[in-house]
Structure 1
């Protein structure tokens, strides 16, 4: 289960990235749950669902879609609490601790622990289309995609910090160097993450520092 430190860290990072894009993002009316709905459908595509043709499940891409969905979900939750990180974290923690295994949608009760990942991704897409996000359902899908809470946190922080790092080093202006020493920045990120303890209180800062130490001057 995600810890209070992890929740606060992710919400702080999300608020920071959204503010970087638009300082007035809380009132901008961005359709974050629409974005989460689209990512849910893309997750279905990466898993494969077509019975009339051979398909290969791309687990890494599916996990990446889930990390993206979490970015949008955190944004929506922050909006619901006017940007209050503590209230947002408390709400998520309460949902996670509830042990709830059901969700009611369109008058029907779904036990998402008894559904496969495709049915759950479809259910999540439907909920997002109805402007709802269900945290326990999402975590069930994360587990079905062979991730645990720590891995969700690790990948989320990694992607968020890399986005910050790119912006700080000229990504928008076109001066950012994406390949260093024969490796793309994503590959450097993986190596940095592998060397760090996710239990660090300043985990995200250490990820940024690790990238900065590798980046060419």
Structure 2
């Protein structure tokens, strides 16, 4: 099984165990509303907090790239959940279908190669995270959301392999 397929399968199993079978309808087994988009944008905010963006505080601080990677992994779990829910509810296909779609995205190949996030401008990296938030609320395409996430992962110094390991 390839890494994307395996991560999607594990996320489905985790969501089934945590939220109950049928969580894709947007309600947990305990009757709580599931809002993956809220989860994503709050994790994006936590990721942005790992950068020294505040002009009034910690002016000479450096980005906390270890935490940036952790927050990007958290976002990944919620992006996968959003896509799994959409694919189930809208009957777009199976995990295998979703895997194929992800692997065909224009930035997927770059995601499979090493990059050095430390050589990039922090403000540009924050802009990439903010672009994901815009896509989250302004696009109807889950594929656009995945493309935006892959950009966040790449600028965070993650590859498919490191995302899989974390």
2:9 corresponds to 1:12: yes
Could you say which residue in structure 1 is the equivalent of 2:137? 129
In 1, Cα distance between the equivalents of 2:4 and 2:101? 10
Tell me the residue number matched to 2:98.
Answer: 88
Computing the radius of gyration from Cα coordinates, the structure with the larger value is: 1
Q: Please give the alpha-carbon distance, in whole angstroms, between the structure 2 residues aligned to 1:77 and 1:49.
A: 30
Q: CA deviation at 1:18?
A: 0.2
After the TM superposition, which parts of structure 1 deviate over 4 Å for at least 4 consecutive aligned residues?
96-99
CA RMSD of aligned residues (A): 2.4
Q: 1:66 maps to which residue?
A: 72
Aligned with 1:40 (options 38, 44, 48): 44
- Superposed CA deviations along residues 122-166 of structure 1, whole A, max 9, x for unmatched, are 1112222346552232222212212222101111xxxxxxxxxxx
Superposition deviation, residue 98 in structure 1: 7.2
| Gap runs ≥5 in structure 2 | 28-33, 110-122
CA displacement at 1:23 relative to structure 2: 1.6
Deviation at 1:28, TM superposition (A): 2.3
- For residues 1-217 of structure 1, the aligned pairs below 5 Å read 5-21=2-18, 22-29=20-27, 30-54=34-58, 55-82=61-88, 84-96=94-106, 116-130=124-138, 134-155=145-166
Contact 1:40–1:121 (CA under 8 A) maintained in structure 2: yes
C-alpha distance in 2 between matches for 1:17 and 1:64: 18
Q: What are the Cα deviations for residues 15-45 of structure 1, in whole angstroms up to 9, with x where unaligned?
A: 0000001222111252112211111111000
Larger strand proportion of the pair: 1
The Cα of 1:51 is off from its aligned counterpart by 1.6
Aligned length: 138
Q: Give the whole-Å Cα distance in 1 for the aligned partners of 2:45 and 2:107.
A: 27
